[in-house]
A and B are shown apart, each in its own frame.
Chain A
Amino acid sequence: MNDRPTGPPQDERLLDVSGLSTEFVVQEGIVRAVDDVSFYVRRNEVVGMVGETGCGKSVTVHSVMRLILPPGRVVSGEIRLDGRELMGLSEATMRSVRGREIAMIFQKPMSSLNPVFTLGSQLIDVIRLHRDVNESEARRIAIDSLKAVALGNVEGLLSRYPFELSGGQQQRAMIAMALSCGSQLLIADEPTTALDVSVQLQILKLIRQIMDDTNMATLVISHDMGVIGCVCDRIYVMYASRIVEHGPTEAIIERPRHPYVVGLIRSIPAFVKNVSRLENIQGEVPNPLNPPPGCRFHPRCKYAIEACSTTKPDLLEVGEEHFAACLRTSEIPYENGKERELPC
């Protein structure tokens, strides 16, 4: 896409990614894991990126953080953070961006925390790396940020090792670490996937509350439409390395306009009103080495026509800030049922 996608003006966008493509060279050929992806995150907006395993959502954010290692490489695209282009920055400058300007939390907090250091020393190290403060000030900041994530007995926690904390506490500590450097943007990659359902809800509430309190913009990556629908203001849906639909949360969930998104929403047990039967998306996710031409979803799509196998659909505006990449978007029945009852 050469022309910029329409949307809010430049200065409203904190993170603005356009035309991002990332490739991995493997033995069998080249896998384009991210194909011409453009998206933006406004200041104090919570944006979700949702898709199934292997759709490229994690590679997209790793590309934004410039964390792609060979044999992978970002082949094209512009990544602007607060107007500043990140692609051309040196590795040393990029290291100061990571953590200070963009914080990131991952699926398994245990694997992000160092098992041989106490939580306190890790937090203080990070704070002192990114902020010009002395040990005692760093300690105070660490305590404040642990308090912000609702961890009790903060003083005691500082001398604990990560394995002494529960999964929920670990993830809270990770969020505290992200908060402590005053980043403008938080990227949360599957932040609750490893947690229990009741703890998941606590963490999601916390993320939303912190965003509302601190105006930190957030990009949440998840395979779970429930998680994304709960915390996000806007949603991007990825399928086979491309964004197939994006728009405000209500619009995506109530009036999805891409057949894949329709199928995805109807296959979630918690979302369907009539629980007698879930909708299936037939077939398998295409092989990334050899993706189908035209619309990548057409081999599995029940609305596919001949043009779908030859023409790559562009993202078309189907509503206010709501875009769908489907040739037949105006024809598909999109109503997902006005009333869907809750499980209880």
Chain B
Amino acid sequence: MNRLVERTNPHDAVRDRSSASETGRSFLSVSGLTKYFPIRKGLLGKKIGDVKAVRDVSFELRRGKTLSLMGESGCGKTTCGLAILRLTEPTAGTVRIGDYDVTALRRREMKAFRQDAQMIFQDPQEPLDPRMNVRSAILEPMRIHGRLREGTERLGEIIDRVGFPRKYLRRYPRELSGGLQQRVCLSRALILQPSFLVLDEPTSALDVSVQARVLDLLLELRAEFGLTYLFISHDAAVVRYLSDWVAVMYLGQVVELGRTEQVFARPTHPYTQALCSAVLTPQSRIRVCEVVLHGSPPNPVDLPDSCAFAPRCAQKDDACKPSAPEMIEVDTEHFVLCHRCAKEVTVR
């Protein structure tokens, strides 16, 4: 397999030095993204509340980089990914991807956008039609977009690139292993030549040795095709391996955001610290792990105004006011949503 080649485009170097928060340069820009699912009751479907799945999420990302959304199941990371692609309509907020003002796109414009932004799902079997062989499955998106001829020309090249054996093109999804199925899904997305991919736990259904190969493949493809990734995962080790930026989510909110090295070197929000200590390594023999989360996340319907993590927080103290915490920059481009961290920064 080819070695990962870092892109040596001089423009990238310039972008690297510039700050991600400079909106002019960012490729993906999410601002105040919110998604509430109404809960209805009774015959007339009266709205009795909202499931607050995503609450006021904002971040920026430059072209060719990867940002990971990390958190436990139910924290809203998948909904956030879906809302960014408008696979579910956001309740509020704006999303810009490249030249597309995603949240303002009309139906007709959506079709062009769909070719440019693709999504890979956790279970590779689900998006594949069991009655469609691999070849038809990969060409399906090209047919939908009226680019079938172009698709047949590029098919061989794409599957070679993702490492799918040509001899299996006539096979059906059920005849393939999980790793190969995920390669089919990747081919389906890449054949459209997108510039942006949302990867929703693409390796958590795979075995570790297969996972390692898919992760490396993703890194190679990103460099080769100049892709930008939004990576969704609960696994801190995988996130650390793959991404440049990480946004830790808890109950619909981003609680910590920063460069991957920085967040993992100095996890600042108590929740991030707990997540990191939950990564199982041979060194973390059970007795050594100290920061363990107790209980489960509260119900996302009746959320407190104050810090949503406070009920499970081991470091809760007087600084945790009843008001909502605000994002505070604890270090260069390293943001944390925590009253205690805010206090420490002020003291410094």
Contact = CB atoms under 8 A, between A and B. Distances in A.
A279 B209 CA distance: 8
Interface residues of B, number: 45
Contacts of B293: 198-199, 201-202
B277 A344 contact: yes
A77 interface: no
Interface string B254-298: 000000000011010000011111111111111101001110100
B267 A267 contact: no
14 contacts: A198-B292, A202-B292, A208-B286, A230-B285, A264-B208, A269-B240, A270-B280, A271-B281, A277-B4, A280-B209, A342-B279, A342-B281, A342-B284, A344-B277
Contacts of B285: 229-230
Interface stretch (B97-105, B137-145, B211-219): B211-219
B70 to A, nearest CB: 10
Interface string A198-239: 111110110010000000000000011111011100000000
Contacts of B215: 269, 278
Given A202-B292, A278-B215, A197 B234 contact: yes
Contact of A204 (B1, B281, B286): B286
A343 interface: yes
Contacts of A200: 278, 280
Interface in B1-46: 1, 4
Contact of A269 (B1, B4, B73, B237): B237
A137 B292 CA distance: 35
Interface of B: 1, 4, 72-73, 177-178, 207-213, 215-216, 234-238, 240-241, 264-265, 267, 273-287, 289, 292-294, 296
A198 B265 CA distance: 20
B209 A205 contact: no
B274 A249 contact: no
Contacts of B178: 53
Interface in A318-344: 340, 342-344
Given A278-B216, A280-B1, A198 B274 contact: yes
A200 B284 CA distance: 13
B278 A268 contact: no
Contacts of B177: 284-285
B238 A269 contact: yes
A291 interface: no
B238 A264 contact: no
Most buried by A among B1, B213, B283: B283
B292 A196 contact: no
Given A267-B209, A342-B284, A201 B289 contact: yes
Contacts of B292: 198, 201-202, 205
A223 B240 CA distance: 21
Contact of B296 (A53, A166, A225, A267): A166
A168 interface: yes
B209 A197 contact: no
A302 to B, nearest CB: 13
Contacts of A340: 281-283
A278 B234 contact: no
Given A198-B72, A231-B286, A269-B237, A225 B208 contact: yes
A343 B284 CA distance: 11
A268 B208 contact: yes
A37 B156 CA distance: 43
Given A268-B208, A275-B240, A275-B241, 11 more contacts: A52-B210, A196-B73, A198-B278, A226-B279, A229-B280, A230-B286, A269-B215, A280-B213, A340-B281, A342-B281, A344-B265
